[in-house]
Amino acid sequence: MKKLLSAAVGLVLALTTAGAVQAKTVQVSALEDFNTANPPQVLHVQMNANTRLDYDVMLFQGYQVAGKVSMSNGTFTFTPIAFVNFQEEQVPIKKEFAAYYKGGNGVIRQNQPFLLVFPENGPDTFQYYVPSSSDINK
């Protein structure tokens, strides 16, 4: 009876956590100095990992991303508006993918890594193509 009860509880927990939206924490590097308590209106960062925002928008490691910054609840929110790809083309981002800053207050220096959390970004559940260095150099 105990095994049946614990199996039922495990099934309920698995079903409730499977439907929850998971956040994706991404490390980026600042491309200019800024203060987290008073950030600029537009912030430029470089991606330190591949990050899929949705099916259509993938920010690869090394992409430089510009984003609007807004303050809320003592922290700032970063909403990407454009990125520069490996062909040095500026590509606008039409949808809004707001991420909030995760970390302490203070000055972030150029090339210093920090974390952004995309709360409405779940795990990748589909296959996608990741270019190799030979594809990039063509």
Nearest to 69 by CA among 32, 100, 46: 100
Summarize pLDDT for 18-27 with one digit per residue, the tens.
444 567 899 9
Nearest to 42 by CA among 75, 72, 77, 73: 77
Burial label for 45, CB within 10 Å (0-12, 13-18, 19+), is buried
Contact 62, 86 (CB under 8 A): yes
Burial label for 6, CB within 10 Å (0-12, 13-18, 19+), is exposed
**How would you label 81-107 residue by residue, b for 16+ Cβ within 10 Å and e otherwise?**
eebbeeeeeeeebeeebbbbbeeeeee
pLDDT at 127: 56
Structure tokens that stand for 41 in this block = 């209106």
pLDDT at 15: 43
Summarize pLDDT for 11-59 with one digit per residue, the tens.
444 444 444 456 789 999 999 999 998 899 999 999 999 999 888 889 9
H or E stretch at 77: strand 75-84
Summarize pLDDT for 64-112 with one digit per residue, the tens.
999 999 998 778 999 999 999 989 999 999 999 999 999 888 999 999 9
**Which residue has better confidence, 132 or 21?**
132
7 confidence band (pLDDT: 50, 70, 90):
very low
- Asked if pLDDT for residue 1 goes beyond 80, the answer is no
Helix (H, G, I), strand (E, B) or coil at 91: strand
